[in-house]
């Protein structure tokens, strides 16, 4: 099975933005336009993350989700500010196939992962990890890379797997948006630690970076943002370079 190439939209409604180190937002375009663009380029999947919902503690803007989902015939994962089973339900009703959760599970109640996976199936529950490296370990951050949690990433990924998460989105606060390569050391560790699929994000600056990540960590999927937003590469380019044949 080929590595999934996923387009990731970090959204500060109404725009897709691109933070550097999760800060300093730049407008990239509208979510539905970009979703369509990457769908047409051959993306295997789309991730939509409202990156300010938790931080600003405001309600999720479900209308946006529905608009983006409406023209896609590929899986669509959405998240940002998910706080309850009811939020999960609403996301699915708006057309999401998977729901992405981070802050609430880390800060408030990790058992939401158990509940959601029992009701919706584990395949529909994605746990987003925002990792920051310290001397000898990585720590989980929340609220778009701003709040330190004291949770150790390597322990947390095993805990969320046990709780029923179906997938991990692994982001790095250190490498995100810098386009200087992934944190391959972390990626390798996490991929080897858990039996659920891991989607690695944060740091692709070139096709070489992607090749290196696959060689070192071989994740199930790679989520790409900047590289696509700045038109440095298309999904076709990435697949071609990885020798993934067109469907």
Q: Which residues bind other proteins (CB under 8 A)?
A: 1-2, 4, 44, 69-70, 73-76, 88-89, 92-95, 97-98, 118-124, 166-167, 195-198, 220-221, 247
CB closer to other proteins, 120 vs 156: 120
Comparing C-alpha atoms, which of 169, 178, 183, 185 is closest to residue 220? 169
Q: Smallest distance from the beta carbon of 87 to other proteins, in angstroms?
A: 12
Closest distance between other proteins and the C-beta of residue 15, in Å?
24
Task: In angstroms, give the least distance from the CB of 74 to other proteins.
Answer: 6
Q: Known catalytic residue: 185?
A: no
What is the b/e burial string over 84-97, where b = at least 16 CB atoms within 10 angstroms of the residue's CB? eeebbebbeebbbb
Question: Is 33 marked active-site?
Answer: no
Q: Which of the following is catalytic: 10, 45, 50, 167?
A: 10
- Nearest distance, CB of residue 132 and other proteins, angstroms: 25
Q: For 13, left (φ over 0), alpha (ψ -120 to 50), or beta? A: beta
Which residue carries 């990792």 as its tokens?
Answer: 131
3-state SS class at 155: helix
List all residues 6 or more positions away from 150 whose beta carbon is below 8 Å from its beta carbon. 139
Catalytic residue among 50, 130, 167, 174: 130
What tokens were used for 41? 């380029």
CB nearer to other proteins: give 145 or 221: 221
Q: Catalytic site residues?
A: 10, 130
């Amino acid at each position: 099975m080929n590595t999934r190439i996923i387009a990731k939209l970090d959204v500060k409604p109404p725009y897709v933005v691109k933070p550097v180190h999760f800060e300093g937002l730049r407008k990239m375009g509208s979510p539905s336009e970009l979703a369509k663009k990457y769908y047409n380029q051959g993306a295997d999947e789309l991730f939509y993350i409202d990156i300010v919902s938790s931080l600003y503690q405001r309600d999720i803007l479900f209308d946006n989700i529905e608009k983006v989902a409406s023209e896609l015939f590929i899986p669509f994962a959405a998240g940002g500010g998910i706080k309850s089973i009811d939020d999960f339900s609403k996301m699915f009703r708006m057309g999401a196939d998977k729901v992405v959760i981070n802050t609430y599970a880390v800060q408030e109640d990790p058992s939401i992962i158990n509940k959601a996976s029992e009701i919706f199936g584990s395949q529909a529950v994605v746990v987003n990890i925002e990792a920051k490296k310290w001397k000898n370990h990585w720590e989980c951050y929340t609220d778009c890379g701003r709040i330190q949690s004291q949770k150790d990433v390597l322990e947390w990924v095993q805990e969320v797997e046990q709780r029923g998460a179906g997938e991990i989105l692994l982001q790095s606060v250190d490498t995100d948006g810098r386009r200087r390569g992934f944190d391959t050391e972390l990626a390798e560790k996490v991929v080897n630690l858990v039996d659920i699929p891991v989607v690695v994000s944060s740091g692709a600056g070139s096709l070489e970076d992607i090749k290196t990540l696959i060689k070192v960590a071989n994740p199930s999927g790679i989520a790409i943002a900047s590289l696509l937003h700045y038109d440095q590469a298309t999904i076709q380019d990435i697949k071609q370079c990885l020798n993934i044949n067109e469907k």
